[in-house]
Amino acid sequence: MNHFHRYASTRFGRLPKTFSELSDLRREVPWWNQVLDPGSPTLTKWNYIILCTCLVALFLDPLYFFLPVIGAPGCMQIDLGLGIFVTFFRTVADLFFFIHITIKFRTAFVAPSSRVFGRGELVMDRKAIAIRYLKSSFIIDLAAALPLPQIVIWFIIPASKSATAAHANHTLSFIVLLQYIPRFLIMFPINRRIIKTTGVVAKTAWSGAAYNLVLYTLASHVLGASWYVLSIQRQYECWRIECSKEMNSTHSPSCNPYFLDCNTVGKSARNAWLKKTNVIINCDALNDDDKDFQFGMFSDAFTNNVASSDFPDKYFYCLWWGLKNLCSYGQSIMTSTLSSETLFCIIICICGLVFFSHLIGNMQGYLQSTTARLEEWRIRRRDTEEWMRHRQLPPDLQDRVRRFVNYQWTATRGVDEEAILKSLPLDLRRQIQRHLCLALVRRVPFFAQMDDQLLDAICERLVSSLNTNDMFLVREGDPVQEMLFIIRGKVESSTTNGGRTGFYNSITLGPGDFCGEELLTWALIPHSDSIINLPLSTRTVKSITEVEAFALRAWDLRYVAKQFKRLHSKKLQHAFRYYSHQWRTWGACFIQAAWRRYKRKKLAIELAKQEQLYDDMYDMDDGAGAEYEDGDASSSDQANHAQHLGITILASKFAKNTRKGAKKTVSRINQDDSILKMPKMFKPVEPDFSAL
The residue ranking higher by pLDDT, 91 or 562, is 91
What pLDDT is stored for residue 458 in this prediction? 79
Beta bridge partners of 110: 122
Q: Which of 105-119, 308-322, 496-510, 644-658 has the lowest mean pLDDT?
A: 644-658
- Expressed in angstroms, the distance from the first to the final Cα of the chain is 66
The per-type count for the chain, helices as H runs and strands as E runs, is 25, 12
Q: Read off the pLDDT band of 222 (50, 70, 90).
A: very high
In whole angstroms, give the CA distance from residue 481 to residue 536. 9
Q: Read off the pLDDT band of 644 (50, 70, 90).
A: low
Q: Which residues of 312-321 are buried (b: 16+ CB within 10 A; e: fewer)?
A: eebbebbbeb
- Spatial neighbors of 183 by CB under 8 A, at least 6 apart, are 54, 57, 58, 61, 144
Q: Which residues of 18-29 are buried (b: 16+ CB within 10 A; e: fewer)?
A: ebebbeebbeeb
H helices present in 423-482, as ranges: 426-442, 452-460
Q: Provide mean pLDDT across the span 566-591.
A: 64
pTM to 2 decimal places? 0.59
Tell whether the model's pLDDT for residue 29 goes beyond 80: no
C-alpha count within 13 angstroms, C-beta hemisphere, residue 477: 5
Tell whether the model's pLDDT for residue 329 goes beyond 90: no
- Would the CA dihedral through 330, 331, 332, 333 be positive or negative? positive
pLDDT tens-digit profile of 397-446?
888 888 887 777 776 766 777 778 888 888 888 888 888 778 777 766 66
- Percent of the chain at pLDDT > 70 equals 72
Q: Provide mean pLDDT across the span 557-580.
A: 64
Beta bridge partners of 553: 482
In whole angstroms, give the CA distance from residue 35 to residue 49. 19
| Amino acid type, 652 | S
Crossing angle for the helix pair 138-145 and 165-185, to the nearest 10 degrees: 140
In whole angstroms, give the CA distance from residue 527 to residue 531. 8
- Spatial neighbors of 525 by CB under 8 A, at least 6 apart, are 531, 687, 688
Average pLDDT of the chain, as a whole number = 75
What pLDDT is stored for residue 120 in this prediction? 64
pLDDT tens-digit profile of 158-172?
777 666 777 777 788
Q: Read off the pLDDT band of 53 (50, 70, 90).
A: very high
In sequence order, what DSSP letters do the residues of 128-193 get, joined into one string? HHHHHHHHHTHHHHHHHHS-HHHHIIIIIHHHSS---HHHHHHHHHHHHHHHHHHHHHTHHHHHHH
Tell whether the model's pLDDT for residue 97 goes beyond 90: yes
249 φ, ψ (degrees, to nearest 5): -75, -15
H helices present in 486-580, as ranges: 518-523, 554-563, 570-579
pLDDT tens-digit profile of 487-538?
888 888 888 876 666 677 788 888 877 788 777 777 766 554 445 678 888 8
What pLDDT is stored for residue 479 in this prediction? 87
H helices present in 524-580, as ranges: 554-563, 570-579
Q: Read off the pLDDT band of 681 (50, 70, 90).
A: very low
Domains in the chain, CATH or no CATH each: 31-201 (no CATH), 204-392 (no CATH), 440-579 (2.60.120.10)
H helices present in 392-543, as ranges: 395-412, 417-422, 426-442, 452-460, 518-523
Q: Provide mean pLDDT across the span 544-561.
A: 82
